[in-house]
């Protein structure tokens, strides 16, 4: 068990615990903060996977943009604590289904057969050319169209957010 494995285990534990906190915290703010922690953990994993660009935008987009937005909304709406009333059946049923999903996914992963490496991207290449550049090249060649589509997607999101959230002028 080398050091990276230990590190992986530690971060993984943190990620799982924080994810659990997201689900269990009564206060949405706490959930949000726990989620941010999870995002950080994932960013760590990306870095470990030699994908520094992904780690960066993980933090920038998720932790930086999305979660700020979420927290802002929570504050705006002044939501403090989650419900007092208990919905035991909801909890139970949800948990059961979730756990089944977990077990099944595990089974799927262990039974499945992953493809052999097909690409030519190696650690050496990433180290030599730089991750961002490599990503950029692929994105603007093979995946140019999806990339362009994201622009419209974001435009729609903006316009939509404006329409939906605007208060009635009266």
Size of the site for another protein (CB under 8 A): 102
Residue from 6, 7, 10, 69 that binds another protein (CB under 8 A)?
Answer: 69
Q: Pick from 10, 122, 127, 130: which binds another protein (CB under 8 A)? A: 122
Position of tokens 């999903």? Answer: 101
According to the binding rule CB under 8 A, does residue 1 interact with another protein?
A: no
DSSP conformational letter for 142: T
Minimum Å gap between C-beta 15 and another protein is: 7
Among 10, 101, 127, 130, binds another protein (CB under 8 A): 101
Token pair belonging to 120: 């030519």
Spatial separation of the C-alpha atoms in residues 134 and 163, rounded to whole Å: 38
Whole-number CA gyration radius for the chain: 20
DSSP-based three-state secondary structure for 31: helix
Contact 36, 63 (CB under 8 A): yes
CB of 112 to another protein, least distance (A): 2
| Closest to 26 (Cα-Cα) out of 103, 83, 86 | 83
Q: Rank residues 127 and 153 by Cβ distance to another protein and give the closer one.
A: 153
Of residues 31 through 60, those in contact with another protein by CB under 8 A are: 31-32, 35, 38-39, 42, 45-46, 49-51, 53-54, 57-58
Among positions 90, 124, 127, 130, the unique one binding another protein when judged by CB under 8 A: 90
Q: How far is the CB of 155 from another protein (least distance, A)?
A: 7
* Alpha-carbon dihedral sign for residues 94, 107, 34, 158: negative
């Amino acid at each position: 068990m080398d050091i990276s494995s230990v590190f992986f285990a530690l971060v993984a534990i943190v990620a799982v615990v924080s994810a659990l906190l997201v689900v269990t915290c009564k206060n949405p703010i706490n959930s949000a903060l726990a989620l941010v922690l999870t995002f950080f953990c994932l960013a760590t994993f990306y870095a470990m996977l030699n994908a520094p660009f992904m780690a960066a935008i993980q933090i920038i987009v998720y932790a930086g943009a999305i979660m700020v937005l979420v927290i802002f909304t929570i504050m705006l709406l002044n939501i403090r604590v989650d419900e007092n009333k208990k919905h035991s059946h909801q909890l139970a049923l949800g948990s059961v289904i979730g756990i089944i999903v977990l077990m099944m996914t595990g089974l799927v992963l262990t039974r499945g057969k992953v493809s052999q490496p097909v690409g030519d991207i190696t650690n050496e290449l990433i180290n030599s050319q730089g991750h961002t550049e490599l990503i950029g090249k692929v994105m603007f060649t093979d995946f140019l169209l999806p990339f362009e589509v994201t622009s419209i997607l974001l435009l729609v999101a903006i316009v939509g957010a404006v329409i939906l959230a605007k208060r009635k002028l009266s």
